[in-house]
């Protein structure tokens, strides 16, 4: 499973499969200038930073931080 798929899979229960894939794609392009398929473990922290504002708005800051910490521990 690719890094983008792993991140998307962990976001899916909270924001849905479609949104998870779109958000990962948007952050990868905006923050890193990469396609989702080009993401590596070295990009995970930057991806999480890029997802933080949208997730915080969508689910609240505390829940978003908890989820991002969990993803950061699990995706490598």
Q: What residues contact residue 27 under an 8 Å CB cut-off, 6+ apart?
A: 47, 50, 51
Q: What angle do CA 64, 7, 61 make, to 5 degrees?
A: 5
pLDDT for res 76: 83
Could you tell me the pTM of the whole model?
0.93
User: Domain residue spans in the chain?
Assistant: 3-74
> pLDDT by residue (tens digit) across 5-57?
999 999 999 999 999 999 999 999 999 999 999 999 999 999 999 999 999 99
């Amino acid at each position: 499973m690719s890094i983008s798929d792993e991140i998307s899979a962990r976001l899916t229960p909270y924001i849905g499969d479609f949104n998870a894939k779109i958000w990962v794609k948007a952050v990868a392009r905006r923050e890193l200038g990469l396609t989702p398929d080009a993401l590596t473990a070295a990009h995970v922290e930057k991806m999480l930073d890029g997802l933080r504002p949208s997730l915080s708005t969508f689910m609240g800051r505390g829940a978003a931080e908890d989820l991002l910490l969990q993803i950061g521990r699990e995706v490598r």
